Amino acid sequence: MNPILWQPDAKMLETAKVTQYMRWLSKQTGLSFEDYNDLWQWSIDETDAFWQSIWDYFDIQSSTEYSTVLQTSAMPGAEWFSGASVNYAAQVFRNSTTERPAIVFQSETTALQEISWAELEADVASMAAYLRRIGVRPGDRVVAYLPNIP
């Protein structure tokens, strides 16, 4: 067995987003989980209920209603929230604030850096304009092979 390299302290666990989600889930549905592993098992056993709770917890906004959480689970080809139309940029920018950066990142070759919400929004708008200019339309797929940094 490999040794544990890092473990969060009690304060970090208490304030973690997954802890906040588990509290919300308990309050909203009465479901209570002893730990992350129990939550994970529920997400596997009750896939539709889990993903419905994620939709609700994050208050996902859609301009159209979905008919089912998971139309088909065949992989590849799983269809999630069939009928929903989500603008991911609008969803992300609902959290925009001047109180904290949008992204904090560091790579193996760069120092710790921050991107403000205003910078991120300008970059996203620029990319969206470029994609429209080259003819990308709703329903098209855009793929990129990129490093995991902004």
- Domain range list for the chain: 6-86, 87-138+145-150
Residue 109 CB neighbour total at 10 angstroms: 6
* Among 147, 148, 143, 89, CA closest to 120: 89
Question: pTM above 0.75?
Answer: yes
Residues 49-96: pLDDT tens digits? 999 999 999 999 999 999 999 998 888 888 899 999 999 899 999 989
Tally helices (H) and strands (E) across the chain: 6, 4
CA distances from 17 to 24, 143, 147 (A): 10, 29, 25
Q: Which residues pair with 70 in a beta bridge?
A: 80
Which residues does 33 contact at the CB level (< 8 Å), separation at least 6?
22, 25, 39, 42
10-64 pLDDT, tens digit each: 999 999 999 999 999 999 999 999 999 999 999 999 999 999 999 999 999 999 9
Helices (H), 46-139: 47-57, 88-93, 117-133
